[in-house]
């Protein structure tokens, strides 16, 4: 194996190739591979990745030093596959939830005979959500007050490790409260939209138009 050690970047590999580095002119030497360490730093280039770097990320370059292929590390691949699996699970849950909601909507249409009854059902759901939003706003305010108090104690100083951890927790609590409130507001919008759509297809009878008046002769 002909390694070009100590190259910390692809550009350096390209320069060496341009200066006529001793690479065999057979088919296997038409490309060069640069491999990285665990931190993602390029640590070497050659015609083959050493065994100890096989699980790390690498890049394949052509004879001009142009990147033609990027190979993810085993760790990156595992994270990507886990993320794809999680996304697939979320999509399945969303599809299941949508199907259940459609079933409930159909049952609702068959249960209530007028738009007024549907409106009452909608208002009850919205009232429940509004109550939850009120509670979440209190939690959000408490988290913000806690964050402000921690920042006030630290002031302009760098802060100790304990204070930094405390601030990180308070920041996370505020972020979590903000997101929960935003999700609940979105749920409220979705309920309004769903009932508007539901009423549009409810088949509730609409008043017949009043007959046109006939002028007396």
Beta strands in the chain (DSSP E): 3-5, 31-36, 42-46, 58-62, 67-71
Closest CA to 71 of 53, 61, 92, 57: 57
Q: What angle do CA 63, 69, 70 make, to 5 degrees?
A: 125
What is the C-alpha to C-alpha distance for residues 52 and 140, in angstroms, rounded to an integer? 50
Q: Give the number of other Cβ atoms within 10 Å of residue 85's Cβ.
A: 10
Q: Going residue by residue through the chain, which has 217 residues, state the pLDDT in tens, using 9 for 90 and above.
A: 444 444 444 444 444 444 444 443 444 456 789 999 888 888 888 888 999 898 889 988 887 778 888 888 888 888 888 889 888 888 898 888 888 877 877 777 677 667 788 888 899 999 999 999 999 999 999 999 999 999 998 888 888 889 999 999 999 999 999 999 999 999 999 999 988 887 775 444 444 344 444 444 3
Predicted model pTM = 0.46
In angstroms, what CA-CA distances link 84 with 78, 79, 87, 91, 176? 10, 9, 5, 10, 24
* The two structure tokens encoding residue 11: 């550009």
The confidence score (pLDDT) of residue 19 equals 40
The confidence score (pLDDT) of residue 113 equals 62
**Contact in structure between 61 and 4 (CB atoms under 8 Å):** no
The confidence score (pLDDT) of residue 198 equals 78
In angstroms, what CA-CA distances link 4 with 34, 48, 144, 173, 198? 9, 10, 55, 50, 68
DSSP state of 156: T
3-class state of residue 6 by DSSP: coil
């Amino acid at each position: 194996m002909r390694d070009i050690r100590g190259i910390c970047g692809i550009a350096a590999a390209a320069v060496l190739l341009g200066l006529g580095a001793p690479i065999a002119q057979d088919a296997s030497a038409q490309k060069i591979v640069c491999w990285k360490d665990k931190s993602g730093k390029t640590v070497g280039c050659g015609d083959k990745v050493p065994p100890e770097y096989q699980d790390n990320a690498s890049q394949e370059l052509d004879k001009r030093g142009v990147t033609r292929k990027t190979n993810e590390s085993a760790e990156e691949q595992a994270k990507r596959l886990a993320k794809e699996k999680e996304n697939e699970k979320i999509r399945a849950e969303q599809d299941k939830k949508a199907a259940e909601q459609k079933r409930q909507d159909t049952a609702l249409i068959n249960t209530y005979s007028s738009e007024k009854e549907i409106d009452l059902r909608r208002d009850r759901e919205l009232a429940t959500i509004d109550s939850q939003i009120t509670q979440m706003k209190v939690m959000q305010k408490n988290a913000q007050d806690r964050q402000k108090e921690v920042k006030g104690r630290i002031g302009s100083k760098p802060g100790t490790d304990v204070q930094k951890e405390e601030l990180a927790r308070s920041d996370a609590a505020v972020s979590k409260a903000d997101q929960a409130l935003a999700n609940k507001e979105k749920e409220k919008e979705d309920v309004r939209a769903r009932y508007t759509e539901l009423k549009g297809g409810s088949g509730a009878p609409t008043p017949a138009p009043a007959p046109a008046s006939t002028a007396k002769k």
